[in-house]
Every structure is written in C-alpha cells, then in structure tokens.
Amino acid sequence: MRPALVLALLLAACKSAPQPTLNERAALHPRSKVEEEKTNDAFVQALREEYQALGRIQAVLRWYSGTQGETSLTQLTYIGHDRLFRKTALDAIALARQKPELAANEGQALTFLRRSLTGEIVALATAKLDDEYEDAEAAAAVTLPWREKPVAYRDLQNLIAQEPDADHRQQAFAAMNTVRVAKLNPILERKEEAAQKAARETGYPDYVALSEELRQVKLELLLASGVAYVKATDAIFRTTLDRVAREELNVPREKLRVADLGRLNKAPKLSQFFDKALELKVLEAFLSGIGLDLRTAAGTEVAIDDSLHPKKRPRAFVNPVDAPRDVRMSVKPTGGLDDYETLFHEAGHAVHFASSTVVPKELVDLGYGAPTEAFGEFFRHAFSDPRWLVRYRAFLAAQGKPRPSDAELAAVLRRLALKEMMYLRRYAFAKIAYELRLHGRPAAEIAPAAPLLSAPEKASADLRELYRQLFSAAYTFELNEQEAQLFRTDVDDTFYSADYSRAFALAGMMHDSIRKKFGEDWYANKEVGKFLRAQLFSAGTSLSSEEVAARLGFSAKVDFEAAAARARRLVSEADALEKAK
C-alpha cells in the first residue's frame, strides 16, 4: 500500500472515529499508568516492549524513505504512544533503576532507555519538521545547463564528486544552494526553535545540556582537544592538502572551493584502481582475511541495497532494524576511492550490529554512539595501512586489473591521512564550536577557538559568518558567502559530531592495538575477527569510548594527542612507500 493512501486512511480514521475522553484514553492500553499496575516493574516492562516495537517500525520506514525516497511517516508513528514521552514514564524508569538487587546489565539498559526516551521527546517535537525536510529533499530537483534532464537534489552530491570540470562543480553547488536557501534552511531554522523549546520542557537548561547527557560528553573539554589537534596538525595538513589538491585538481590549496572537496576525496587520478564492480568482492576479501563475514549472529545475512535510485540518500548508512537478526546497509556506489572507504566504514557498522549478542535489547542499539562509529572508521583505516594496500594490489592483479605502483599506493595512503585529519579538524573543532553557538551558548564558551578565527568580533553575532570563519580555519582555505549557506544543513542532531570526533581518534587507537596484538600485517589473521567480536562487537553499544580504550590496552581515555601523532606517522609512511625501491 502506497504511503499516500496509508496517510489518507489514517487521517480519515482519525476524523471519523469518536474521540475518547481522557479516562477512556488511559484505558486504551492495559498498562498505561503506574497506579494501574500491581508493580512499577510491570509498567516499565510494558514501556520497554512498546518502545522496542515503535523503534522497529520506525527503522523499517526510515529504510524505505532513505533507499526509495518514500514519503517520510515518522510523525505518524508516534500516534498512540504518548505515554512513552511523559514524565510518568521517565520517573518510573528512574525508580526501577534504583532497585538495590538490580543486575548491572539491567541497570545499564534502563539508563540507556531513559536517555533515549528523553531524546525522543525532542525528536517528537521536531518529527513534523523532520518529515517536511525529508520530503522536501527527496522531491527537490534542479536544472543544469549541461544536463538534458533535471537532476534530483539527492544525486547532486555524487554528481559534483564525479564532475571533472571545476566550473560545472561550482554551478551544481550553486544549484544545491538554491534548494538549501529556499526550502531546507527555513525548515531547519524552525526545527532549531522547536528543539530548544522541547529540551527546556524536559527539564534541561538548554539543548546543549540535553545533548551532553545523551552523548555522555563534556563539550568544553572536547573542543579544547579539537583546538589542540588543529594546532598540532596545521603545518602537515596544509602541506598535504596542497600537494593532493595540485595532484588531483591542479590547483593550490588556497584556491580550493568546498565543491572541490568531494572530487578531491574521490581521487580521480587513482580511479582505475577502484572499480565499482569490485567493491563488494574487495570487502568480502578483507573480512574473510580476518575471520569475519556479513552473516549475523542470528544466522541471517546483512541485507545490502546498492541500487542507484535517484531519490536514494547519497550518504551510505546502516540500519539495525532488529539487530542482530535484521541489519541493513545502503550504499550508492559510483566507484572511486571514496566509495571503497565508505563501503568499508558502513561494513564496520554492519558487522558490529550483526555480532551484537548482548542482552537486554537496549544494550544492542540504545547506548554509546562513538564506539560504533570508531568500528566503522577502523575498517576504513585499512586503506591507510601500507600492509593492506600491498595486499589490495595483489588482489587487483588476481582479478586481472591494473596494479598500482608503490608511488600510487603511497598516494592512496596520503589521501586517507589527509581525510582523517580533515575529519578531526572539521568535527572536533569547527562543528563543536559552531554548534555550541548555534544552540544558544555564549561566545565565551568557544573562547579556545577564537584565536584561530580571522575576525572573531565579526562572527560573534552572525551564525553564518561564524560558520564561514570556523570552517575556513579547519579547511585552511577561505570559504565564500555562498559556501557559508551550509550553516543550517551542515548540522548533526544532538551533537552527533561529538561521537564522530571521539570515533576518529578511537579508531586510530584500535589500529595501534591490533598491530601490537597480532603483528604489523594482521590482515590474514582470523584471530583478529574473533577478538573483535568477543571483546568489542558482541557488547553492542554497552561500552563507552573509555571502556573500549581500556579493552584495547590503553588508559581509559580517547587520546587526541595520539591522533595527531598518527597523522604525522601516516604521512611519513606514505613518503617512505613512495621512495621504496
């Protein structure tokens, strides 16, 4: 049944059915109030079951919205589930959490549940706007002078990355901006207001405080680490970006544009070594070498959608619909180095959730976000390791494909080192600082970032200008006014940027640990997969970043100084490989 018909029927039913009174509404569910239950435990268990069912329904709908461009129905899914998002529910869970005889895993599950429901209160307040945004993005199309037919907005990102002509890239970026400015940014401005209001209504001082609780992070400390990372990597980042920009696009670093970054990441000069048709086969070879595959702990297969539907989201994603049994991965392959990296990153998520056997269910996917992003980055980092690159060259030769030289492998490594630095500078520095101000915190709270801005006084009361200056500092080339229009769409809900930031650093620590445990060239050691599944993946999202670090043999912290040292090492390894005889 088509979503439009479903919506029509639901609306008709809502209009025609007699509206129950408050007492009747309470009786619609046999466990709708604490006082109607013999015990608080039964009420909390009912909440857990209901929330799990709701989450599964939403996950399936998100899958079809993301892969097929189907109308987003998130707002409708909340109908009839009001009790999940009331103070009564939060208080009941908090009471259950205080039981002295409660098992540790049950206590953690209830903690995750309460945090998630708190976040859902904000999600519920913005659901209508999220649906409006999804539908506007999926429906939008633009005309480009050199294309015969209109191009779907969601295809523009890939089109820009594949476009060899710099002027065409700029025109396509400008076309995207017309959609951002006219349709998307106004929706996001209203969403910001609704999210702030909802955060305060849950009892938090503001959206930032709510986000810190959900992400279990102190943003002030994270920003300080991000600023330190930018300073520590600035010289090597500038040099590496300048070299890669000249090699790939024939322009110096200072003349780069934001629209060039997708093309830069695609590494067109190396495209012959990253055939779209071999992506999944390469992934299979990588996984099998370390004793992993895309089979789930429940005996099913991870479902992969690699179609090129025009309304499909260009950004790959994994959807743990009912992990570990039902895990789905969406990619929109176009070939090139960036496609391979993305596939490996998403495969890290997929294998993680497919291996999550921890109980209760809340520990599978309601817990810490940074480690699962780190697991994805850990897989991606294979392409920044000379040992895997040499194995990859042998794989290509076995397939009858061109073999990259040592210099070309070094170029791959250098590009991955560049991207890792770019990500950390972007997320741990620019996005954290910008989003703190976007969500209402005073300029004083981003004081550590101010010395890196070109004109901090000018940016103090202008979000668009603040975005421009912060990302100019992160990227080391000046953004223009048109590029600053990203200031609304380039935002992650509830500071997911904090999870990304820690994930990028933690993934490097994972690589260092695996090399120490299993040797420099661990890519044919099946014990690696056993270790990952037993020590990390099976635990679902129950491990914090600090606990992952401890299991890897480090002190219980995410080390950004080590991340800066890793960046220098990767560039040094690229230089050595390039000079190898």
Instruction: Summarize pLDDT for 274-314 with one digit per residue, the tens.
Output: 999 999 999 999 999 999 999 999 999 999 998 989 889 88
Among 27-36, 83-92, 401-410, 559-568, which is the least confidently predicted range?
27-36
Q: Cα Rg for the chain, rounded, in angstroms?
A: 24
Q: What is the largest CA-CA distance in the chain?
A: 82
Mind listing the pLDDT tens digit for each residue in 117-169?
Answer: 999 888 889 989 999 999 999 999 999 999 999 999 999 998 999 999 999 99
% of the chain at pLDDT higher than 70:
93
**Residue 37 pLDDT:** 45
Domains of the chain, CATH where assigned: 215-579 (1.10.1370.30)
Among 37-51, 281-295, 453-467, 541-555, which is the least confidently predicted range?
37-51
Joined tokens for residue 44: 């909390």
Joined tokens for residue 330: 């969406």
State the pTM of this model: 0.90
User: DSSP per residue over 534-568, as a string?
Assistant: IIIGGGTT-S-HHHHHHHTTS-SS--HHHHHHHHH
Q: Please check the confidence at residue 62 and state whether its pLDDT lies above 70.
A: yes
Mean pLDDT of 170-186: 97
Alpha carbon of 443 to those of 88, 232, 446, 474: distances in Å?
A: 37, 24, 6, 18
The CA distance from 519 to 46, in Å, is 49
**Residue 315 pLDDT:** 79
Which of the pair, 18 or 553, is modelled with greater confidence?
553
Mind listing the pLDDT tens digit for each residue in 309-337?
Answer: 988 988 789 999 999 999 999 988 888 99
Mind listing the pLDDT tens digit for each residue in 11-48?
Answer: 343 443 333 332 333 333 444 444 444 589 999 999 99
383: DSSP letter: G
Instruction: State the alpha helices, DSSP H only, in 140-266.
Output: 153-162, 166-179, 185-201, 207-215, 219-249, 258-266
The CA distance from 511 to 413, in Å, is 15
Cβ neighbours around 494 below 10 Å, total:
23
Joined tokens for residue 47: 């909440």
**Residue 20 pLDDT:** 34
Give the number of C-alpha atoms closer than 13 A to the C-alpha of residue 337, restricted to the C-beta side.
25
The CA distance from 429 to 230, in Å, is 7
* Virtual torsion, Cα 531, 535, 538, 544, nearest 10 deg: -140
151: DSSP letter: E
